[in-house]
Structure 1
């Protein structure tokens, strides 16, 4: 079975830097099977395997996966709409299952590559602990990080190839395959319900929490207990489990404060600035794809600018020095290693946790708490007077409108916009002068997910397609 589906062969390219480059992903099956057990047989190998998994996470976050929800959303305008433009089919909702070398195929393939690497680490970790009991703490940390990454992979796949959790009342609609180990050549896996996918995500996060107890964070480029709590909060937000979404947002926030002023801007412009980062991916020795994309292919849409008031610090990240629309969230002026093409995409930062907490508190009818979280965001954006005046314009019932507006402004171009629109069960509405062929799509829509890659469907008769987009 040479042309095995992506998720079956992904495990075999374990770690590019240390085990050699896989020149042809679909042609390394036998070599991978013989080298992986020996490669992951000691603590150093296990840690190296984890590094490989992080690199695979970076490969999909720094490209199509993070581009997709903003290109498919309503706050971005493509500069070029001629045939062959990067992400044009996602902009126009013309994605095709045959597009193996575009977002449809690459997102699926890259996430399952990352997932396969993570599962290898999880599979061999117990054997390493048994053989090297003195390295138990190190191996426990590695397991915690791997479990977090596995949860994140399944969550990300579900956001792209499945309708949101609240699409059906019981989340019984099709999700994605749940992979806890590498399938064999004759294992034709099928898609689980979204509910089952989320249950596995929560199970992995619970186990990761246990692994991280008593272990200090290794820094913002590594999974940590704070990152686990952040993912918990986001997952529960999508599930509309407001109590837990708020609980874990609070745990992720802890005693930390939002970054202010220059520190806030420097999170993007000076990559040595930690700021309010909870978890971001390390782009060292990489040529940042997001940086190149936002530099050449798209700009913030006019509809985004209409949401801002004068003096908002966030506008500095959406215009160039000449005041022209330009997303500079991936255009760092300083890099710790002087690699000018580097970008380090955020996965979680504190501001998102404030937004999660505000949205969850509002749904719990704790309007005072919801207002408090939004007030902190508004104060940082402009000042206290602005925050007080803005909040005074919204009744408790209408406060959710401000919460959604601030979430759009705060998290724009960080991979949230389209996913938020569909989990809010809103129609996609773009500016009247959009150069996309699509100005509006009513919710719900079969077009709100990408098609399952055709090569996957051809190789696995158990793999169910998505309606309409796979036709």
Structure 2
């Protein structure tokens, strides 16, 4: 039996190669109880052990997206600015939150990347899914239906995590849709396979592997998760199709994006929230909104207390207790006066230091992620906007306008009638409807649009002209140094 020290040593080394990562999660994968360790083989030899592992993967994924990834796209794109410091020597000053200083200025450093942990943790999650997939077929105490469901969820998680990595580390698809630029390392093998030195796939091949995994998941899903807990917290056939639609959109595969989004809209049984309930739905505590397809719910201890939530970024609790991220006027000015989505912002006057004096300045906190909010990975509104974009690119202008107007009608906004700058109208609708849900910067990159941050920008670099190598982050240098086949992104 390999002892715990050896597992930690070898997996830390392999982690540096970006291929195999330490097998541990919030469930203490290798720890049954204090002082008692078990091998990976023993842990994954039973259904109980595999389900514990799968649950741990979900917890690790929730933690991964709840990290800096949660605010990355909205900070970089200009939806978010920062509230004043509450106390201390910097009281009243507007400062960049610790941990994003370099990425905020589009100057992340390969030797000390602000996103280094996201890179490592993502491949850690991927390796855990690979181990589950390696052992699940041999389970003697699980039915074939249960084994297929476990595989389906593992494939979906592996696809989703790789997809997030393409967004952060790969330039968006070329305008000619060649996809020949660098993608990511696509990891399908485990610790037991031995040391290899992987290279990055092309972006086209990366997407192909992601789609292959999603389709494998769809081939294996049964009627429900094998895990206990809220069903909206787990991958299923419906939200995996939503992921497929998003991947096809990133790939500029318009017909398949349309078909996948249309399938979810017509067959999921999930409907757009009504105008009457829209604000109340977002204001709910604990439960997600009704149009959620997948939410990574926040972890709770045995007493029901929350271990962390998105309110740690967006929460407002009192004038002396609030968090760092608030809406910019760049975003707020896009909403029409009658648009009910304007009601999703908490306007609060906070003391701000200006010219050596404290003055009250109004800041706007989002109501979307107060209290115990989890990360909203997919909801039905996005699928309407995916279908609209695909229709636009396929020349189905009226269908595109109809889907945009489905969102605008619900919001009590004026209907879109003109086809002048339909792309701009679509991007603005995505920006308003999906704000703070992790889309804006990636939308701009995908559509090859410039970044322009105005209100509240405190960086030396407040804009980014497309194309630019700074639309992606550097591969952490420690990984590059240990793998000569791993090519760094341009300019890092």
What aligned pairs does 1:274-313 form with structure 2 within 5 A after superposition? 274-285=289-300, 286-288=306-308, 290-295=310-315, 296-313=323-340
- TM-score, normalised to structure 1, is 0.87
| Corresponding residue number in structure 1 for 2:24 | 13
Residues in 1 aligned to 2:375 and 2:325: alpha-carbon distance in whole angstroms: 17
Structure 1 counterpart SS, 2:81: strand
Residues in 1 aligned to 2:197 and 2:464: alpha-carbon distance in whole angstroms: 34
1:266 offset after TM fit, Å? 4.2
Out of 299, 310, 317, the residue aligned to residue 344 of structure 2 is 317
Q: For the Cα contact (< 8 Å) 2:311–2:370, is it kept in 1? A: yes
Structure 2 counterpart SS, 1:319: strand
| Corresponding residue number in structure 2 for 1:251 | 263
Out of 195, 200, 212, the residue aligned to residue 191 of structure 1 is 200
Residues in 2 aligned to 1:119 and 1:106: alpha-carbon distance in whole angstroms: 20
Q: For the Cα contact (< 8 Å) 1:190–1:463, is it kept in 2? A: yes
Residues in 1 aligned to 2:480 and 2:307: alpha-carbon distance in whole angstroms: 32
Residues in 2 aligned to 1:38 and 1:300: alpha-carbon distance in whole angstroms: 49
What aligned pairs does 1:24-103 form with structure 2 within 5 A after superposition? 35-79=39-83, 82=95, 85-99=98-112, 102=114
- Structure ranking higher in helix proportion: 1
Quick one: structure 1 residues 289 and 53, their matched pair in 2 at CA, closer, same or farther if it must change by over 3 Å?
same
* Post-superposition CA distance 1:425-446 (Å, at most 9, x none): 0111122662222222110101
Most deviating of 82-91 and 40-49: 82-91
Q: CA RMSD in A?
A: 2.5
| Corresponding residue number in structure 2 for 1:338 | none
Residues in 2 aligned to 1:462 and 1:219: alpha-carbon distance in whole angstroms: 41
Most deviating of 110-119 and 198-207: 110-119
Q: Mind listing any 5+ residue stretches in structure 2 that lack a counterpart? A: 1-9, 85-93, 301-305, 316-322, 350-361
What aligned pairs does 1:204-219 form with structure 2 within 5 A after superposition? 204-212=213-221, 214-216=222-224, 219=231
Q: For the Cα contact (< 8 Å) 1:425–1:444, is it kept in 2? A: yes
1:185 offset after TM fit, Å? 5.4
Q: For the Cα contact (< 8 Å) 1:78–1:435, is it kept in 2? A: no
Q: For the Cα contact (< 8 Å) 1:258–1:351, is it kept in 2? A: yes
1:75 offset after TM fit, Å? 1.7
Quick one: structure 1 residues 211 and 433, their matched pair in 2 at CA, closer, same or farther if it must change by over 3 Å?
closer
Quick one: structure 1 residues 441 and 272, their matched pair in 2 at CA, closer, same or farther if it must change by over 3 Å?
closer
Out of 425, 431, 435, the residue aligned to residue 412 of structure 1 is 435
| Corresponding residue number in structure 2 for 1:391 | 416
Q: Mind listing any 5+ residue stretches in structure 1 that lack a counterpart? A: 24-30, 333-341
1:82 offset after TM fit, Å? 4.2
Residues in 2 aligned to 1:46 and 1:432: alpha-carbon distance in whole angstroms: 49
Quick one: structure 1 residues 71 and 47, their matched pair in 2 at CA, closer, same or farther if it must change by over 3 Å?
same
Quick one: structure 1 residues 245 and 92, their matched pair in 2 at CA, closer, same or farther if it must change by over 3 Å?
same
| Corresponding residue number in structure 1 for 2:88 | none
Q: For the Cα contact (< 8 Å) 2:27–2:52, is it kept in 1? A: no
Residues in 2 aligned to 1:256 and 1:82: alpha-carbon distance in whole angstroms: 41
Structure 2 counterpart SS, 1:347: strand
What aligned pairs does 1:233-248 form with structure 2 within 5 A after superposition? 233-248=245-260
- Structure ranking higher in strand proportion: 2
Structure 1 counterpart SS, 2:438: coil
* Post-superposition CA distance 1:12-59 (Å, at most 9, x none): 215525643999xxxxxxx99x71121111222221111011011101
| Corresponding residue number in structure 1 for 2:244 | 232
**1:138 aligned onto 2:150:** no
Q: For the Cα contact (< 8 Å) 1:11–1:120, is it kept in 2? A: no
Most deviating of 38-47 and 242-251: 38-47
**1:268 aligned onto 2:282:** yes
* Post-superposition CA distance 1:78-100 (Å, at most 9, x none): 33664763422221112111225
| Corresponding residue number in structure 1 for 2:447 | 424
* Post-superposition CA distance 1:162-201 (Å, at most 9, x none): 1112366421111110101225553122211111111001
Quick one: structure 1 residues 49 and 315, their matched pair in 2 at CA, closer, same or farther if it must change by over 3 Å?
same
| Corresponding residue number in structure 1 for 2:169 | 161
Q: How many residues of Structure 1 are paired with residues of Structure 2 in the alignment?
A: 439
- TM-score, normalised to structure 2, is 0.83
Quick one: structure 1 residues 266 and 344, their matched pair in 2 at CA, closer, same or farther if it must change by over 3 Å?
farther
Quick one: structure 1 residues 273 and 56, their matched pair in 2 at CA, closer, same or farther if it must change by over 3 Å?
closer
Quick one: structure 1 residues 165 and 432, their matched pair in 2 at CA, closer, same or farther if it must change by over 3 Å?
same
Q: For the Cα contact (< 8 Å) 1:354–1:373, is it kept in 2? A: yes
1:317 offset after TM fit, Å? 2.1
Q: For the Cα contact (< 8 Å) 1:190–1:464, is it kept in 2? A: yes
